[in-house]
């Protein structure tokens, strides 16, 4: 049994993948709590697509496509923040407009250059096993940075997310805080793309926080639980992928979903409690 658990850790390749997946899913877990409460659930998906033009530039210029991906995702994220902030558009419409135009641009660039990207599947579905030492270090750094900034700016970020008007009146730089949050999301997304691919990166940002919402009451406890669940999903997913030969992205996300379903069962407002409650007599009307 211990051997089974230790086995994947014996190889450089899988050990690295393990660390990258854990770091990135924990970072996404922390950030995701704010993402979900801001009603930005689809931003992960959108920003992953927004990284495409950058990635194409990276391919064409034979330079780092992670770096270019970060640049284009950041620009897109700030574009979304700006559109939403000025009150021109709602948050969802801002995301949709920026994301479709960035993705269209990426597709146009691919077709114009006529180069078929062999590695496109890697972009779409991620491949942590292809991660080199530099990628690992980068992902870990990004995850650390994301968590660090969220911890450092915790209250202002929460304030600006919960009640932006009051935060503004209190003299907090709400625009800057939004830019910081969207920027962190862009970073986390690009790091996540390397691990689970652009199609599934949203899951890292959304599923663990959704599970945490069922298990914890307050923002920071939800962040802690979400980080834990994210990390756990990473580990479980990698083991599954190692032993069952599944695509890593898919198995990590499935593990996260399994944890979410478990949370649904055991949560204080969950299925089991609801079932138990129905079998006990109804409480009398609470007195004032």
Partner 1 sequence: MTDAPHPAAPGTGLVIQDLSVAYDHRLVLDGVSVACAHGEILGLLGPNGAGKSTLLKAIVGLVPRAGGSIGLDGMPLGRGGAPSTRLAYVPQRHEVDWDFPLTVEDVVLLGRQGRLGLLGRPGKADRQAAHAALERLGMGPQRRALIGELSGGQQQRVFLARALAQEGDVLLLDEPLTGVDATTQAIVLDLLADLRSRGLATVLATHDLAEAARVCDRLCLLNGRVMAFGPPHEVLTTDALVRTYGSSGIGLNRDLGEEVTRATLGPALPHDAGPAGHPEHEAAPAGRHPHRRTGR
Where does this chain bind partner 1 (CB under 8 A)? Answer: 37, 39, 152-153, 155-156, 158-159, 161-163, 165-173, 213, 216-219, 222
Q: Which is nearer to partner 1, 104 or 169 (CB)?
A: 169
Count CA within 13 A, CB hemisphere, residue 45.
12
Nearer of residues 107 and 179 to partner 1, judged by Cβ: 179
The beta strand positions in 39-107, using DSSP E, are none
User: Are the beta carbons of 181 and 205 closer than 8 angstroms?
Assistant: no
**For partner 1, which is the closer residue by CB, 94 or 241?**
94
3-state helix, strand, coil in the chain (%, to 5): 80, 0, 20
Contact between residue 185 and residue 37 where contact means Cβ atoms under 8 Å apart = no
Q: State how far the Cα of 231 lies from the Cα of 181, in Å rounded to an integer.
A: 21
For the record, the structure tokens of 97 come out as 């407009």
With contact defined as beta carbons under 8 Å apart, do 203 and 257 qualify?
A: yes
The angle, 0 to 180 degrees and rounded to 10, between the axes of the packed helices 248-266 and 12-37 is: 50
| Cβ-based nearer residue to partner 1, 177 or 195 | 177
Which tokens in the block code for residue 137?
Answer: 């270090």
Cβ neighbours for 266, distance < 8 A, ≥ 6 positions apart: 215, 272
Smallest gap from Cβ 182 to partner 1, in A, equals 17
Pick between residue 19 and residue 180 the one whose CB is nearest to partner 1: 180
CB of 177 to partner 1, least distance (A): 8
CB of 259 to partner 1, least distance (A): 19
CB of 226 to partner 1, least distance (A): 11
Beta carbon nearer to partner 1, 131 or 229: 229
Displacement of CA 209 from its chain's centroid (Å): 10
Least distance (Å) between residue 84 CB and partner 1: 14
* Least distance from partner 1 to the Cβ atom of residue 178, Å: 13
């Amino acid at each position: 049994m211990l051997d089974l658990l230790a086995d994947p850790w014996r190889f450089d390749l899988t050990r690295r993948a393990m660390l990258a997946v854990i770091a990135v899913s924990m970072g996404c877990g922390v950030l995701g709590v704010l993402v979900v409460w801001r009603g930005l659930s689809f931003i992960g998906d959108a920003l992953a697509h927004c990284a495409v033009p950058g990635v194409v530039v990276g391919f064409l210029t034979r330079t780092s496509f992670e770096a270019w991906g970060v640049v284009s995702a950041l620009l897109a994220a700030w574009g979304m923040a700006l559109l939403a902030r000025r009150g021109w558009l709602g948050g969802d419409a801002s995301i949709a407009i920026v994301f479709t135009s960035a993705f269209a641009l990426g597709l146009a660039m691919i077709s114009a250059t006529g180069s078929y990207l062999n590695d496109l599947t890697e972009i779409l579905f991620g491949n942590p096993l292809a991660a080199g030492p530099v990628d690992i270090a980068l992902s870990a750094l990004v995850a650390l940075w994301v968590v660090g900034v969220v911890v450092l700016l915790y209250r202002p970020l929460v304030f600006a997310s919960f009640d932006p008007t009051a935060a503004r009146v209190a003299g907090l730089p709400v625009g800057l805080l939004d830019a910081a949050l969207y920027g962190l999301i862009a970073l986390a997304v690009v790091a996540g793309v390397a691990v689970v691919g652009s199609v599934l990166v949203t899951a890292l940002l959304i599923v663990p926080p959704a599970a945490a919402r069922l298990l914890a009451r307050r923002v920071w406890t939800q962040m802690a639980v979400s980080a834990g669940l994210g990390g756990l999903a990473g580990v479980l997913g990698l083991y599954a992928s190692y032993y069952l030969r599944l695509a890593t992205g898919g198995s990590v996300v499935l593990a996260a979903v399994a944890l979410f379903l478990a949370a649904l069962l055991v949560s204080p407002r969950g299925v089991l409690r609801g079932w138990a409650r129905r079998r006990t007599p109804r409480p009398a009307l609470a007195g004032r």
